[in-house]
Structure 1
Amino acid sequence: MSPLISAAELKALLATSPDVLVCDCSFDLTEPQAGARAFAAAHVPGAVYVHVDKDLSAAKTGLNGRHPLPERAWFAARMAELGVNQSTWVIACDNAGGMYAARLWWMLRWIGHAGVRVLDGGVPAWRAAGGEMESGAAVARPAGDLALRPSLVEMVDFAELRSTLGRGRRLIVDARAADRFRGENETLDPVAGHIPGAANRFFRDNLGADGAFKPAAQLRAEWLEVMAGRAPTDLVQHCGSGVTGCHNLLAMEAAGLSGARLYPGSWSEWCAQPGAPVAIGS
């Protein structure tokens, strides 16, 4: 099954399945409350709001990046509090082409919940398909029974990535825009540049002009070019803070290329570590 779901498919699922929860992750890195305001103004009926900073991240220490992962048990409990059961199909969406929804998709799989998909094209696609919208606060659901299971994903931490840098067939892929990758126009992190040896695949290159993901065959062809003969398990995805790196992982999964890993701390953690090497340019 594709990790993506169309607006038409979601309409059918909501009409036929008793245990579906739409989680709206709309957000703005430069204005953290903008997503909550957008949700209150209009959202998919029955949806709940999931805040990137509050629900999908832990506290920052200055060394662990801008969106450090919370504890797995805490996150599982938080999603249960929002109404997620072991049997729930969670549909993640946002207003930014899956930029933030992909983080929730990855994190649910990280705590072992396989029943998660991302609404392709997000809230705009839902509107374009004639989907109803409602406003106001989310309607509270009874707490769910979601609990930790073995993780369905792999990741690497700073120590492992630093110790293996430049060794073997591993390829680090940076999901940030090309100018930030080159060390230009950096506005979010205190140090500009990228991890030495990394390749650049801007996450928005996974999307078509309509804001939805490109067809699976096209994504596969483009990612095979990036991989240059490597296996998906040879790739480590990262970005500025572990958010849009998940978008690249989602695109690879949609293309049938499973097994790449995430470096959750990403550039914001890497550049905060004393002595971590930095590269500038392409």
Structure 2
Amino acid sequence: MSHLVSVKWLAERLKKNPETAVVIDVRFSLTDAEAGKKAYEKGHIPGAMYLNLNKDLSSPVQEHGGNHPLPDVDDFSTKLGEIGVDRETTVVIYDQHNDMFAARLWWLLQYMGHEKAYVLDGGLDEWSKRGHVITNKIQVPSMKQFKPSPNEDMVIDIDGVKEKIGDSTSILIDSRAKDRYLGKTEPLYKKAGHIPGAKNFFWKDVLAADGFWKTDDELQTHFEKLPKENEIIVSCGSGVSACPNVLALKLAGYENVKLYPGSFSDWISYQENEVETKEE
């Protein structure tokens, strides 16, 4: 089964076997941390739980580690249990559209050993467009116990990234917009540019013109310059917008894919690290 599900699939699943699935709303705005929760309270897919990027899908920001460090495994496991998720639960994650936040939770669940996690293609907009019910009723979840099994092969830290620079068997990609990659603009950080050696693959380019995810074949074409036998390290600003690229690489058939969670914001937290501003 793909890592994506359609609105039709979810609607049928919720109609036939609602007790076997948990739907999670992860809408968020980087400029207003409470906007997603407010939107959820105003209206969401029936039965959906809400998780917040800053509070639930990240741990507190420190001197190093980037702007959205991975959450503590035990804390995140507890949170998953509180919203009714255990290792047998099918989880469907949605955003407003096909945004970066659903992919972040999808990646976290994969990392925690939970493979039955899927992103709703088209998000809440497509659900609403297809005439399905939106509710402001917040359901009380059935408590579960989530037992994690973290896969450390899915992550790489700054020391690992440094070791891989110049290694012909490893490719680092930067998922941010081209102008940020080239250092022409930087709205968030004190330094502009990218990690030396990184190649630019803007995360939104994995979406088709209609806003849906590209097909597996289209994604293979999109990433065709990346040999499948190579290790692909995916970065961005803080480990969030990199996640759609990780998901897309998986859809395209890449197996050896790692996330650098700290990404550029972690890299520049070390004064001695150089940044590059030319195309690579």
TM-score (norm 2): 0.95
1:207 is matched with which residue? Answer: 207
Q: Indicate the larger mover: 142-151 or 76-85.
A: 142-151
Does the 8 A contact of 2:97 with 2:126 survive in 1? no
Question: Aligned equivalents of 2:255 and 2:3: distance in 1?
Answer: 11
Match for 2:31: what amino acid? T
Deviation at 1:155, TM superposition (A): 1.0
- 2:192 counterpart of 1:187: no
2:245 to 248, 257, 265: 248
SS of the residue 1:141 aligns to: coil
Alignment of 1:152-171 (within 5 A): 154-171=154-171
- Asked if residue 65 in structure 1 is aligned to residue 62 in structure 2, the reply is no
Give the C-alpha shift of residue 152 in structure 1.
Answer: 8.0
- Shift >4 Å, 4+ stretches: none
Measured on the aligned residues, the alpha-carbon RMSD in Å equals 1.4
Give CA deviations for 1:198-239 in whole Å, capped at 9, x if unaligned. Answer: 1001110011122210111111111123x0x342x5110011
Stretch of structure 1 that moved more, 39-48 or 249-258: 249-258
Pick one of 261, 264, 268 that aligns with 1:267: 264
SS at match of 1:205: helix
Fraction of identical pairs, as percent: 35
1:272 maps to amino acid = S
Q: Equivalent residue of 1:54, what SS?
A: coil
Task: Report the equivalent of 1:132.
Answer: 133
Deviates more, 1:164-173 or 1:200-209: 164-173
Q: Quick check: 1:234 aligned with 2:235?
A: no
Which deviates more from structure 2 when the two are superposed, residues 181-190 or residues 45-54?
A: 181-190
- Tell me if the contact between 2:42 and 2:136 (Cα under 8 Å) persists in the aligned partners: yes
Partner of 2:218: 218
In 1, the alpha carbon distance for the partners of 2:26 and 2:99 equals 9
- Whether contact under 8 Å (1:121, 1:210) holds in the other structure is no
Q: Is the 8 A contact 2:220 2:253 kept in 1?
A: yes
SS of structure 2 residue aligned to 1:35: helix
Q: Note closer, same or farther for the CA distance 1:121–1:153 as it changes in structure 2 (3 Å cut).
A: farther
Provide the residue aligned with 2:34 in structure 1: 33
How far the C-alpha of 1:139 sits from its partner, in A, is 1.4
Which amino acid in structure 1 is aligned with residue 247 of structure 2? L
TM superposition shift of 1:164: 2.6
Q: By how many angstroms is 1:259 displaced?
A: 2.7
Q: Structure 1: which 5+ residue stretches go unaligned?
A: none
Partner Cα separation in structure 1 for residue 153 and residue 126 of structure 2? 28
Instruction: Name the SS of the counterpart of 1:118 in structure 2.
Output: strand
Farther off after superposition, 4-13 or 125-134: 125-134
Cα deviation digits, residues 234-266 of structure 1 (max 9, x gap) = 110011110011100111122222331100001
Going from structure 1 to structure 2, the CA distance change for 1:100 and 1:83 (only over 3 Å counts) comes to same
Determine the C-alpha separation between the residues in 1 that align with 2:231 and 2:150: 22
CA contact (8 A) 1:112 1:152 kept: no
Structure 1 distance, partners of 2:150, 2:60, is: 24
Aligned partner letter, 2:260: Y
- Cα distance change on mapping 1:161 and 1:61 into 2, 3 Å: same
Cross-structure match for 1:102: 103
- Give the gaps of 5 or more residues in structure 2: none
Give the number of aligned pairs: 278
